[in-house]
A and B are shown apart, each in its own frame.
Chain A
């Protein structure tokens, strides 16, 4: 008998707890509202407010922390303390630390508005602690209160608990009506699990009293009902109860079936737990796997970003290098082009210089050679006292030396001009006197060639020029005019002052003239020298080139008018006003 009782007693506990819990769940809103309403008076206490909100949110640990903080404040009212103790008691109860819960709840004063709730929890604690008499005492105190006063604690719950208490106290007569009452209520509410528990309890009630006839249908009811649920514990318990019942009826085979079923449910519960665990593990594993994948992906992403950045940077660097390369290459090409051009000019100049050298030296050589032969003749004639010939020879020598001197003079001025070493000062100059002074040197030459010279420059005509360079220009022009004049020819120098800016000085001869090509060649702004067609009149063209350069330096203009066989006009235009105003 002892074994039988034990075997059946065990499931009762679970039923109580479940009931209490489910009851609270469904009825909290009413209780919450009341708590909120009642505790607004403490809204100025932040710790209490937090404790309250955590309590209502069923955050038990946080509730404990903040209530403790509030309780540490010394100025608390009795009511505030009551609330705190209630919250703490309930929280401890939920945390299954029953002794602490009981201690807290006992500190709540009996006049507290929610003291019934306190009693309910104290009762439940006593029940849990198997102090059935204490539990009965608490439950009895609140049994007859109206539902409203209980704030969501169901009467059926209290009755059920009382039933269980009496059952445990073996006061079956007292237990029976309570259990039946709660059964009825549960049937109304269609609380399947509650029903299974209550059926089991009623069955136990009868079974304890050996009223097997009454007990067994309840066991069977509970068993059948458990089939319809998925609750393994209920299934297991009912099956086990059935197995005990059948065993006691000596219906061993049937008992074995139930026992097996019980074990099956127990196993499946275990399995369920294992599956849960496995599932949990799998889940964790999967999560880890995912985590790893995510990490791998992140790492990959990082690598990709790094790669991309690397690419980007290297591309930029390459681009810059390329641009710089292109820039420098182009610069180099440009520079090269300039250098090539300069080289060409330089080569040209060099060639000209070489040519100039050869022509000049050739001319000088000819002059000196002529002088040499002339001197030999001179000596011969002097020995023979042939004095009449001497005069002619000396005249000839003088002419040769004059020519050579002019050439050298031009060469010197050319060199000075090229190196910019010469003194250059623009002053006002009366053309007439300059012409007179220069022509003075050529009088003997013109006389010899019987050339008629006329200086018809107006004495009032003035130009602004550098005196020395103007003299060089005039020397060359007059020299040329004489050179290209036929004997008994005429050379006229005159000015034409018709322009606002320039005064023209014209050196006109009636000599051989030149064709159009020669004329254009002369005016070309190049230093290219060409050997004259007229071989016996020596000249390098250096003189005219020098003239052109000098005229340019004096900000003047130069032009030539010529007709082959009739003569040439060399026209030099010089400014009448000083440069820069």
Chain B
């Protein structure tokens, strides 16, 4: 599990410092603190940013909104963001609201509020609302990562790092090369959200990363995966063989 990368766009050092402290304390990774729009855009395109926290007013102008508007132009480069503002001025809000999906936080805020706001931004951005706050689920799936709520903060897992997923009722055991952990998500949802050219169901309880398959032994109903992991292959899902690249 990796820490989530956060870009802070805030012109007031005291506030950015306080924010950094809170985020660091909750195991977030700060990839940069931008003071201006230009800086922010440079940092955003150069670093791997997962979430941006944007102060609406940079040096007295609503450049924060401009930033959001700018990054929204390129669909693949879009990332979740949270607006910070000290005023609830309606006109500003009406403009900010157009940069869908829209999450905001009013200053001053406490630790819980900023963590909550980040979670909300991720949920809204990936269109999987009501995940982190519910007791049934704790994971949002993007095209690249799993965002998993661990304690108060979010963690991320590269989808390509996953070897296989073993489903146990409403839990899923995620097995990567380095670790093994449990997330809360329903099977149907995970099947729906994972790209089925990368992941394939081999059994009622197994979802396997096709890239990690080393050997398929149909006679034993067994799939050998990298890192000496094994997954069961049931008859229902035997057509997986067609999907796997084989040497001919």
Interface residues of A (CB under 8 A from B): 416, 421-425, 428, 430, 432-433, 436-437, 440-441, 459-460, 468, 471
Contacts and interface: CB of A to CB of B under 8 A. Distances in A.
25 contacts: A421-B89, A422-B88, A422-B90, A423-B88, A423-B89, A423-B90, A423-B92, A423-B93, A423-B94, A425-B93, A425-B97, A428-B130, A430-B130, A430-B133, A433-B112, A433-B133, A437-B112, A437-B113, A437-B116, A440-B112, A441-B110, A459-B133, A459-B134, A459-B135, A460-B135
Given A460-B135, A468-B106, A433 B116 contact: yes
B111 interface: yes
B151 to A, nearest CB: 14
B84 to A, nearest CB: 13
Greatest chain A CB density within 10 A among B93, B111, B133 is at B133
Contact of A436 (B88, B112, B135): B112
B94 to A, nearest CB: 8
A440 B90 contact: no
Contacts of A425: 93, 97
A437 B110 contact: yes
Contacts, number: 41
Contacts of B106: 468, 471
Contacts of A459: 133-135
A436 B113 CA distance: 9
A367 B110 CA distance: 24
A459 B97 CA distance: 28
Greatest chain A CB density within 10 A among B88, B111, B135 is at B88
Nearest to B113: A437
Contacts of A468: 88, 106
Contacts of A433: 112, 116, 133
B191 to A, nearest CB: 25
B23 to A, nearest CB: 16
Given A416-B88, A437-B116, A459-B134, 12 more contacts: A422-B89, A423-B88, A423-B93, A428-B130, A430-B133, A432-B133, A433-B112, A433-B133, A440-B111, A441-B110, A459-B133, A460-B135
A440 B110 contact: yes
Interface of B: 88-90, 92-94, 97, 106, 110-113, 116, 130, 133-135
Contacts of B90: 421-424
A493 to B, nearest CB: 15
A424 B135 CA distance: 28
A132 to B, nearest CB: 137
A211 B58 CA distance: 167
B44 to A, nearest CB: 26
A428 to B, nearest CB: 8
Q: Which 10 A-B pairs have the closest CB atoms?
A: A423-B93, A437-B112, A422-B88, A440-B112, A423-B88, A430-B133, A437-B113, A440-B110, A423-B90, A441-B110
A466 to B, nearest CB: 10
Contacts of B113: 437, 440
A441 B113 CA distance: 10
Contacts of A440: 110-113
B223 to A, nearest CB: 39
Nearest to B132: A433
B203 to A, nearest CB: 33
Contacts of B94: 423
A214 to B, nearest CB: 149
B118 to A, nearest CB: 13
A441 B112 CA distance: 9
A238 B224 CA distance: 182
B83 to A, nearest CB: 11
A203 B86 CA distance: 155
A423 B135 CA distance: 30
A190 B116 CA distance: 150
A354 B111 CA distance: 38
Contacts of A430: 130, 133
Contacts of B133: 430, 432-433, 459
Contacts of B97: 425
Contacts of A428: 130
A421 B100 CA distance: 22
A459 B110 CA distance: 20
B116 to A, nearest CB: 6
Contacts of B110: 437, 440-441
B86 to A, nearest CB: 10
Contacts of A471: 106
A425 B133 CA distance: 20
Contacts of B92: 423
Contacts of A423: 88-90, 92-94
Nearest to B136: A460
A416 B89 CA distance: 9
A495 to B, nearest CB: 14
A471 B130 CA distance: 19
Contacts of B93: 423, 425
A440 B111 CA distance: 8
Contacts of B134: 459-460
A416 B92 CA distance: 14
B122 to A, nearest CB: 15
A471 B108 CA distance: 12
A416 B112 CA distance: 25
A339 B32 CA distance: 60
Contacts of A424: 90
A381 B34 CA distance: 41
A423 B97 CA distance: 10
Contacts of B130: 428, 430
A402 to B, nearest CB: 12
A342 B8 CA distance: 51
A114 to B, nearest CB: 121
A279 to B, nearest CB: 109
